[in-house]
Every structure is written in C-alpha cells, then in structure tokens.
Amino acid sequence: MKLNIAIIQLDIIWENIQQNLDVLESMFNELDDSIDLVLLPEMFLTGFSMNIEQIAVSIDGVEVVKLKEWSKKKNLAILGSLAVKKNDKVYNSALFIKPNGEITIYNKRHLFRMGEEDNYFEKGDHRTIVDFKGIRIMPQICYDLRFPVWSRNRNDYDLLVYMANWPGSRQKVWNVLLEARAIENQSYTVGINRVGEGGGIKYLGGSKLVDYKGIVVKDLELNSNAYCVLQLDINKQNNFRTKFPAHQDSDEFNIL
C-alpha cells in the first residue's frame, strides 16, 4: 500500500478567509493528478485567531462546500483545521474531506491555554482515525503534539498528522517532538506548520515528514511558502513493525 501526500506550508493571511481561499484555489488547480491526500496547516483560512465571531465557519457553509468541490474535482482528500461553529459552541476542528463528499471531524483535545484558546474554543473528547484507501490516518492539532498519551499507537493507525501554527520561538521543540512521536509510535508522522506572521507571532514553517524509524524524510524550507509531494510505503512500515514489534510491550492505560 502506498499513499501520495502533498504538504502545503502556507503564509496564512490573518483573519481573511476569502483571500486564503483564493490562494488555495490557485494552488489546487495546479496539483498533480497522482496526489491522494493534501495536508494543510492548523486554521489555514484565518491563522490562529481567537476572534471567533469573525473566523468561525459552519460545516455546511460556503467555505467547506468549496473545499468539497476541490476534493471532488481533483479526486483527492483534504485534511486541515478550521474554526467550526456547532450550535452555540466553536471547535478547532480538523476536517478530513474525501472526494465523495464525506467529512470526518476531529476536534482538538489540548487547547493552548497560554494563547487563551481554552477561553474561546470547546475541547474535543475523543480520538479520530480515518480509513482512506485502506490506510488508517490519525489527525492531531498543534498543542496535541506535546501529549504522547493522546497519540499512542495501539496498532490502530498507519499515519499520524499534526496540523499546526507552531511559533518560531519553539522551533526546536517542534523538531524534537515530531521525531519522538514517530519513533514511539513506529509510524509515519507529518507535521504541517505555517509561515509568516499572524497576530504578532512569527512562524518559521519547518513542515516535515518523519518515517517510522524517526528518520526525517523531508524537511521543508524555513520562512517560505513551500509545497512538496511525497510517497508513503505502508508495506515497508508494516514489515518494520513485524520485525521490531515494540508495540506488543506497551503499557495498558485508559484516557479519562
């Protein structure tokens, strides 16, 4: 089993949904037909803003309809996070959009209290794993990266994806933790970060793919809009897990 992924590292225009949609539409029109899955950063239409009255969208709104149209037109899946309103609550939601229009949602579990995210957004309460083309994918969002129990692989996923707006002041932490998550879970791990400036915070990017042995396969250029296509070989990963079955000795636990 193989999966062709496109990582898009964006300079997100602060709180401007339409301009970000325009930029992305131009990029999607140029995507190669071989791509199976496009990966976008956290809150890719607005940046990491707490101005929820302005930035929150509906799952049935025009913005998500547009993403579904791109997915269908290019016959690929899209994964990225948005501020999504549901009833009277707002979630930092990762949307996995399939070409057939099906959407799977993961709501961010660990809200970044230092940025007051917990004062504006509702906390997610369950892990989500999506099956796409026979490959099991688990989405996570930014601050989730610091909490390894939440991402522990119970032999239930093949690809771990972190969408982020991770500040440049903590770039070393980003690099180290992505490699750690890949090693401990014996899983391909992708981190998609933004670049540029938003809300007075500088972002360097550093999006990357780390393989199931903790080896960095691709590290995107810092401080630059960047795009790359990579192929994941799940059979090789499965063979490694069979030869080195560390997961069989992992500790049992429950998440409250």
Catalytic residues: 42, 108, 142
What CA–CA distance (Å, rounded) separates 102 from 218? 30
Amino acid letter at 199? G
The three-state secondary structure class of 185 is helix
> What b/e string do you get for 164-181 counting C-beta neighbours within 10 Å, with b at 16 or more?
bbbbbeebeebbebbbeb
Give the residue carrying structure tokens 């090789």: 236
The three-state secondary structure class of 112 is coil
Cα distances (angstroms) measured from residue 146 to each of 98, 143, 173, 176, 238: 28, 6, 9, 10, 26
The three-state secondary structure class of 105 is strand
> What b/e string do you get for 124-161 counting C-beta neighbours within 10 Å, with b at 16 or more?
beebbbbebeebbbbbbbbbbbeeeeebbbeeebbbbb
What CA–CA distance (Å, rounded) separates 74 from 70? 6
Cα distances (angstroms) measured from residue 30 to each of 19, 21, 55, 193, 246: 18, 14, 27, 21, 41
Q: What angle do CA 174, 96, 230 make, to 5 degrees?
A: 55
Surface-to-core class of residue 198, CB atoms within 10 Å of its CB (0-12 exposed, 13-18 middle, 19+ buried): buried
